[in-house]
Structures are given as C-alpha cells and as structure tokens.
Chain A
C-alpha cells in the first residue's frame, strides 16, 4: 500500500466562512468512496482570501493549490486526479509560485498556511521556538538590545518603539510585572491579529514569553475580542499544549523562569482596544480610558509595571530574536523598519494578507496585488488604518506605506488595514457613520468624545439632508470647529481621531457634502 497523500484544507475562520468544513468533509468522503489513502491536515490560511477555500496537495514537486473550492467541486477534483497535481479549472499550480504570495516578504507570517496551527511539532519543525531558546541564552539586556536594534514599532497603530517600552518596564522595580497582549482587533478592515492567533498561535505565545523574560514578568494576559471564537479555541488549545510541554508555566524549558499565560475574552467594546481602557477591563471594570501619565509601563495592570503590545508586535519578536535585530531592520524605509502585514479588504477583487517591507505604494497594492475593485467600477477612496483612519482619494494613491509619509498627509497607517470603496460610495454618509460609530463606542469618560460624536452625527445628518439645496457654510464651519475640539481635547484616540475620517472625507470629496471643489480649496 502506498503512503497516504496529504491534503490541506484551512481551518482559518475566513476559509470556514466560505465553506471549508464542507469541502474537508467532502474530500474525506470521496477518498473513502474511491478507496484512496488521504491524510487531511487542517492548516492555517495563506491569506489569499479570494481563493479560499484553498485546497493544497503535497506532491514530490511541492504543494499544489486548487481554489476557490466548493464542496460540489470535490468529485470533479478527484476525477481530474488532483492528488497527483492533475489539471483542473481550479488548479493554481505550485502554491509558493502564486504571484501574490511569491512577491511577499513573510517574516511574521512565515508559517501561516503552511503548518497545522495547533501542532507544536509542526511549529518547531518550521523554526518555531528558536527565538525563545536564544532569548534564554542571552538574557534580559541582550533581548531588549535586539528588539531596539530591529527598529520594531508597535503594530497596533500608535507605532511606539517596542524596545523602549520594554526597557522602561525592565527598569522598574516591582514585586509583580505583567505582559498584556492587546488582541482586541476591532478595526474594520483588519484581520492580521486574528490570522496570527488562528493560523500560527504559538508565535504569539513565544513572543509573549520572550517579552516576559526581557522585563522580568511572570504573568501574562491575552485580551481577545469576543467576535473571534475560532481564535479563542486555537489559543486555548495551544496555551494548554505549551504548558504541558514546558514552554509555559513554572519552569520554562528548565531555565527556572516562570511565565503563566491567561486568556481573557472581551465583551464587545471597541474602546477596549485602547490600552488603558483594556487594562481597566482586565481588572474587571468598565472599559473607561485612564488619563496618561502614568504610563502603563510604570503603572499598568493592577497598578504594576506592564508591557502592553499588539498581537503583531509580539508575534514579530520571535524572528527578531532568532535572526537578529539587524536582519529585521534590513526591511523597510526611513524610520519604518521591518515588515507590515497589510490587509487589503472591502471592495477589492483580490483581498487578503500582504506582508511586505514598508515602502510599497497604495497604488501597487490596489492594482498590482488587489486587481482593482471587486465590483469592476473605479476605486474612489480607500480608508487606511481602521475607523479612525483618514480616507485617501486617488490623488494620494502614490503615497508609500510609511508611518511618517502618512502622518505628513494627516493620515495614519494604523494597524495596516485598507478598506477599498468604489465610485458608488457616499463620502458624506461615511463621515456620518464615523461619528455614529464613535457615539456607539465612546466610553463616556470625556465630553468631546461622548457629546461631540452625537452632535457630529446630527450635524452630518442635517448636511446630508440639505446638501442638494446648495452650500451650507454655517454647518460646515460648525463641523470643522467640532472636529477641532474633538481632536484637541479628547482623552484618547477614539474621540481624538474620529475627525480624521470626517475631515478627510470633507476635504477630498467636498462635492458629496454639497460644497463645490473650488469653494473647499479656497478655505
């Protein structure tokens, strides 16, 4: 009897949302009916979401891909001999040779889609836990030096240098320190955190463990949003495995160092993605924002020094420790070093995860990778950086993805999410929605955000109703003044950045607000 042929069907939530479980069941049933020996592996996703469910077959030449596969295609795939890389209309050739994937620079996502996310053996076989071993060998100061050298900046959106945060916590004297992972990925247009947690969860656990060694923390929390049940299951399973195998717990790999990792589920509050609000929530309180200072690095969770980092920041640490800060720093431009996992979403033909060095332009992403809009209509606007990010018009599509280049435009890179809109979008309505979302999600602590968002939504409703009757300079002035107050006087980014999408929509698309282009430029 021949050895079984390995077939991969992703277990990632996106693949599941498009029927991957049905495809997997159909493959098993069809193989059995045909008396073929197939070993099914539920891998992570490669992040080529227009091709999901993406089925792969291991062949002597490498893994070959078929997609997007529906359950009803499965019998035909067997007929076409897909187990021997047979020709079929859904055949995509060698997975690694798919242009969209081949042109990427996958560092943080090196294993995503390749391994079985729940298998520690698979993780280790693909260079996993090499960073932790080196970290244990070199000790706290040298770990922090590597992270500083790498130039890694917080990938959650604020882009604060990770190494400096760690150095601050390491320098604090305290009986207890904490590592907190911000996995409250609430921004529309983002899913890279979710992909790490579902498709390669050990890399996050390893990154948090290295952070703990660096600063002398023994307790850690992952604060995960409740909208991610698959990520929760994957983390529960892998944390249990890591504990059982000595990668977490009282004595990490026989080093005598302890790190206990806990998983906490959020409860549907967007504002808890703000770090101080998240800490309040972890303490069992309303997720209201704390004034800063004190910084969480000095007085964080339960008043103790706390490293709080985004999933992607922490998941980038293992490769930095494994290959060195200098290796990571070689990617990128200016002060934006390393790679950024970009999420191309919304009205786009080929949406997915694109991990690349900083510096690629929006235009290359939208057209070379994304293939233009999904609807086939012209792309009119993109929102970069989540609900608090600015809208960019076509005139700005040549901007390179770089923190400073975006800041110069009054925009943000944020968590690397790009939402694409075609020419049917009503930008005044998107501005109204930004205010509405802020009103729904405001924690209520500060007045500019709590009241400003509601007044802003009302004002934009009035503008939309009256826009066909000609310019309304009074309302537009009032909106700008309100945005100015929110920008300057809000306690956190929710109220403070909601004006970004509102003002960018107004400035770049004044015609949607009943203001002529000329009139807008004159102001």
Chain B
C-alpha cells in the first residue's frame, strides 16, 4: 500500500477522478469499481469528488453518497500510514480476540475505529479475514498475520512504522 497523503490537492483528486471515470466509461454498473479505483489511488473517496462521479454516471449526488456511505470500505479521509485491522468475528473470539483487542487498545492508547492525530496509525475492526483455523488474525497494511498475540502485533507495528 502506498504512503497516503493526509490532505488532498483538489486539482489532483479531480484529475484522478476524471481518469478513473474515463477508464470505466463502457462498463455497466461500474460505481463500485470506480470508487475502489479512486480509493486505491487517493487512499479515500473525498466527498468533493462525488458531484463529478454523479454527473458522469447520470446519477444524483444523493445516490452516489448513498452508495459510498453504505459500504464499510469507503472512507472520506485516508487511514493512518500504518493501518491495522483486527478481526472481531467468532473464530477469532474463540481464540481470545476480545482480550487481545482490549490489551492492544490500552497499550496503544487508541480504540478500534480511531486514527492517531498525527496520522501515523489507524486501528480498525474487521469481520473475518478467512483465516479462521489460524486465529486470532490481523491485517497490517494489506498483509495477513495469523495466530497473533500482543507482542507479535507490537513488533509488527514497530517494523511497519520503520518502513513507512
């Protein structure tokens, strides 16, 4: 995952949005792929691009907003440079995910769903990463880690922070 800008340059995001829209011009029902492509490149779907998308697809701004806000993946601002998702689903719970989450939240001083003010770290809940025989699981900047404990996660975070 690329290092993500915390602030958008309006000209840049408009240009990216136009490029993405052009690339999906002939595709039926392309709104989700369009939103994904914008988020893959900008780290978020900034609210300012919604009118551009609406105009291009002949939809109302409300319809586009309705889609963006329906799906958990789409975000209005980029996540922290390090993005840790902790699985909260049943299989991970059976292997202590709740206690793990509580301990990690305390050690990091950050709750699920929060980003540090300096944009260095986002902690998020996720519901199933499909690695349920190796619980508990976490995904760190797109990489899956199985059978993790708090020490593993703190090590991985340190390693990742050094990298980005």
Contacts and interface: CB of A to CB of B under 8 A. Distances in A.
A190 B72 contact: no
Interface residues of A, number: 61
A281 B147 CA distance: 33
B11 to A, nearest CB: 27
Interface size class of B (residues with CB under 8 A): 35 or more
Interface string A207-250: 00000000000000000001111100000000000000000000
Interface string A48-60: 0110100000000
Contact of B93 (A187, A287, A343, A433): A433
Nearest to B139: A227
A346 B94 contact: yes
A191 B67 contact: no
A158 interface: no
Nearest to A434: B90
A133 interface: no
A257 B132 CA distance: 40
Nearest to A286: B70
Nearest to B95: A347
Contact of A419 (B73, B94, B139): B94
What 5 A-B pairs are tightest by C-beta distance, nearest first?
A: A351-B133, A284-B31, A188-B89, A267-B71, A345-B132
A266 B147 CA distance: 26
A268 B71 contact: yes
Interface in A278-335: 281-288, 302
Interface in B111-129: 126-129
B52 interface: no
A455 B132 CA distance: 29
A42 interface: no
Interface in A23-63: 49-50, 52
A226 B36 CA distance: 10
Contact of B133 (A14, A185, A443): A14
Given A191-B133, A419-B132, A14 B28 contact: no
A374 interface: yes
A14 B134 contact: yes
Contact of A346 (B71, B74, B90, B130): B90
Contacts of A282: 29, 32
B33 interface: yes
A189 B33 contact: no
Interface string A242-283: 000000000000000000000011111110000000000111
A287 B31 CA distance: 12
A283 B31 CA distance: 8
Given A49-B133, A227-B139, A265-B32, 12 more contacts: A14-B131, A18-B147, A188-B132, A189-B132, A193-B130, A229-B142, A267-B72, A270-B127, A283-B28, A302-B29, A351-B134, A374-B95
Interface in A413-443: 417, 419-422, 425, 430, 433, 437, 440-441, 443
Nearest to B63: A285
B18 interface: no
A287 B154 CA distance: 36
A352 B133 contact: yes
Contacts of B93: 430, 433
